Amino acid sequence: MVDDRDLLKVVSGIIGEERTSDDCCMIKVGDDNIILSTDMLHESTDFPRGMTDWQIGWMSAAVTLSDVASCGAVPLALLLAAGLDEPERISGITAGAKDCCERFGAELAGGDIDFHSELTIVTTGIGRVEDEYYKTRRGAKPGDIVCVTGTPGCAGAALEGSERYWKNLVEPLPAVREGRLLAVAGVSSMMDVSDGIALSLYDLSGSSCVGFEISMDNLPLSPGVSPEMALYSGGDFGLLFTCGRDILPVTGVDCTVIGVVTDSGEVLCDGVLVERRGYSHRWMEEI
């Protein structure tokens, strides 16, 4: 069985590791740092039954604005390419994406339309960030603390049938304001937790060449959300970041210290190795 992270290693061998080890890429244009990110979502793996087309548009925009936010950037624009199984779905999807963009300060500025047997949406986000506020997954240092914003696991709980968290799952809120405030406050590394805290800690560990020691008791849990869900389920779009102890609290950011950065290279929870699993795409065939 291979997953998307295995395939990313193939891509990384071709275009370079620095291009595949962050939520976004950064391109310098004159004095500006332009931030770019793209995501593909499709019906069978990302849009649970019961979502409206408006919510599908909203979620598609939110996942990409979340990546832009995780770099400390201000979002500018979003492009949405829709592979439609039914042509009439375009209105709801476009309205949802536009509303999400407007809420978070971006413009839905273009896209593409084609036929597709399974509803498939690709969103591409563009943002801008100053040199000093540009954040990546590469700056975590042993001795830093590691923190998350929001309450992870709610989207996962909804996927398992908890109705109270349905909106968390289908109308996720990218942490655009929080990402910017944390970047300005001087965090050392940052990413979003779209695929769950566990996988994100492994991603951060690989990019920063560090380890983590977190504690189950520190995980911020909403009612009815198990520590297991908080660690291993995705779709919450909070931010995972590291920083020196002196930086917190950051005014306007609701976050929780879940552990510390170590130099061991291992991701441990209460002394036990965290499983490397979360939300990922898998293929049965070997490559």
Please report how close the Cβ of residue 225 comes to Mg ion at its closest, in angstroms: 21
Is 54 buried (19+), middle (13-18) or exposed (0-12) by CB count in 10 A? buried
Binding-site member from 7, 15, 19, 45 for ligand TPS (CB under 6 A): 45
The interface with ligand TPS within residues 172-231 (CB under 6 A) comprises 194-195
Note whether 23 binds ligand TPS by CB under 6 A.
Answer: no
The answer to whether the annotation marks 70 as part of a ligand binding site is no
Tell which positions 262-281 bind ligand TPS, by CB under 6 A. 279
Beta partners for 126?
36, 77
Shortest separation between residue 20's beta carbon and ligand ATP, angstroms: 4
Q: Assign residue 110 a region: left if phi > 0, alpha if psi is -120 to 50, beta otherwise?
A: left
The reply, when asked if residue 38 is annotated as ligand binding, is yes
Among 90, 159, 181, 216, binds ligand TPS (CB under 6 A): 159
Instruction: Figure out which of the listed residues 60, 194, 207, 208 binds ligand ATP, where binding follows CB under 6 A.
Output: 194
Residues 151 and 143: their CA atoms lie apart, in Å, by 24
Choose, by CB under 6 A, the member of 11, 27, 113, 184 that binds ligand ATP: 11
Residue ranges at the known binding site: 23, 37-39, 46, 67, 111-112, 137, 192, 194-195, 279
